[in-house]
Structure 1
């Protein structure tokens, strides 16, 4: 069981005062809680629990029902450490209004998502996806299974952050010269070339595989629409491990059915869980995985490496060392 010091106190001139609170959405192991409780009272949120909201200075994660208590003129909340990399579901405008800093879990999932994408690329390029389909039909048709060499592929990675860089590094090892897309087109280590987001359609015309790893913002919502898929080669593929609403899934479904592109793999969706009656399930040249690409062994260790480094810097200088989010940009 996690140890909670509900009555932890700080010695102050003139008497005793309660420690400030770090409020978390989930439990963490004792070894991490003890490090936190040197300076704070650590609480795991439960709806039936009495909380002195005026003492909450930091949260690990966020719950929508906290808004009425922590996003007010009287708030003492100074920092939210998001558990995930994506922050599009958080009230960023309110955080900015009340001067609340935000950091995320970016980087924790980079290796896992890279492994997932490499598995997809090899499965597709070696015809394993088609072989699985043939096995289900008890067919032996080796001459109908397409195969390509990964190092011959032009792979376009849309999003050159930590995950994109990790993937580019791995692809380079396998002889690929990865091309990156970011907001401005600035150079990023590990990419053979980089282009601005405004060049996305032009780059899609020659790409053999387009991989989306972008965060969700107003600009990236339905970024991949019918006009985008119309630019892709009929032999090309599209993967999304970023955010579901970046893809107009109706447009993607139509493009796959019309063979405007050969294959797609989606790990994230506009609606999750994906409903049982969703037509996406029945598309033969689409692979669906249930938002598992970021599943990471030893998650707590990796997450706490970020949080505790940030906490140390926050206590010393009221600053964050890692993964601070620009609240205006959303990433």
Structure 2
């Protein structure tokens, strides 16, 4: 009996051939191939998710058993309905770790060496050598989120002889972090940090985690970097902290509303770096992603189980 693997995007022929070799009964189809005659009852797996599919696949009697998210974050997916209908979920956690680490290292080095100020001064032909310069090794860097991205960053910083302080759910020890603390210690640790980097997924516990109260206790010279989720930050509170110079600098790759509206006042601040959600852009993405999917597909076809990047639907990660 033919079953469908429905994907939001196409993948190279070599990967589709691997799927056929693993399970000849599974037929790969992309969203743009769907027509009025498409049999939704045959969809057993999706690669990615579209909200348009919810009324077709998250219903009683649906054949859907597994969703492979294309991203690491799954906060935009209908998790409660997945749980209701027994749909398993896996994500792309880890694929973007090196890319996001490279992005963060670029920011850290440019900020510590005064490159951002130099670039702004260049626009005005202003020769201004009087800028704050720091050795990266002297900075207390707080990494909020010690998963694969956080570990990759901490390992790279360790190479540069920098100490990384980690924040995770319960304060468990993680390789390459000199210290780790539970999330409830965030405000206390943020008071002492020169740099605070958010890499957390979005959950009920992390929505607007970075708010006025937190920004108020941070050093006035501190840098805040967000490559996690936009909604983890109270954007209005962050903006006001930057305007009032209660916070030194922010580098933001994700936002509550994307794209960031052209008239939003964050664009006008000189102590902000805005990048358009590109920190996770990864060369050779298909190959890295398919390594996760194909391994899971083999286990699914043989035993009905998953082996990689399984998401706990209740916790959202």
Give the TM-score normalised by structure 1: 0.93
Q: Any idea what SS the aligned residue of 1:80 has? A: strand
1:80-99, aligned counterparts within 5 Å? 80-99=67-86
1:17-28, aligned counterparts within 5 Å? 17=1, 19-28=2-11
Counterpart in 1 of 2:58? 71
Q: Any idea what SS the aligned residue of 1:37 has? A: helix
1:252-263, aligned counterparts within 5 Å? 252-263=238-249
For residues 179-229 of structure 1, the C-alpha deviation after alignment (integer angstroms, 9 at most, x for no partner) is 000011111111111100000000000000000000001110100000000
Counterpart in 2 of 1:124? 111
Query: Is residue 2:200 matched to residue 1:214?
Result: yes
Query: Is residue 2:185 matched to residue 1:202?
Result: no
Q: Return the structure number with greater relative CO, CA threshold 8 A, min gap 6.
A: 2
Query: Is residue 2:103 matched to residue 1:110?
Result: no
State the alpha-carbon separation in 1 of the partners of residues 191 and 261 from structure 2: 32
Unpaired runs of 5+ residues, structure 2, are none
CA shift, 1:37, in A, is 2.2
State the alpha-carbon separation in 1 of the partners of residues 201 and 38 from structure 2: 33
Counterpart in 1 of 2:174? 188
Q: Any idea what SS the aligned residue of 2:163 has? A: coil
Q: Aligned residues, how many?
A: 313
Give the TM-score normalised by structure 2: 0.97
CA shift, 1:48, in A, is 5.2
1:31-180, aligned counterparts within 5 Å? 31-38=14-21, 39=23, 40-46=26-32, 49=35, 50-142=37-129, 144-180=130-166
State the alpha-carbon separation in 1 of the partners of residues 58 and 150 from structure 2: 34
Unpaired runs of 5+ residues, structure 1, are 1-16
Counterpart in 1 of 2:276? 290
State the alpha-carbon separation in 2 of the partners of residues 146 and 87 from structure 1: 39
Q: Any idea what SS the aligned residue of 2:307 has? A: coil
**C-alpha root-mean-square deviation of aligned residues, in Å?**
0.9
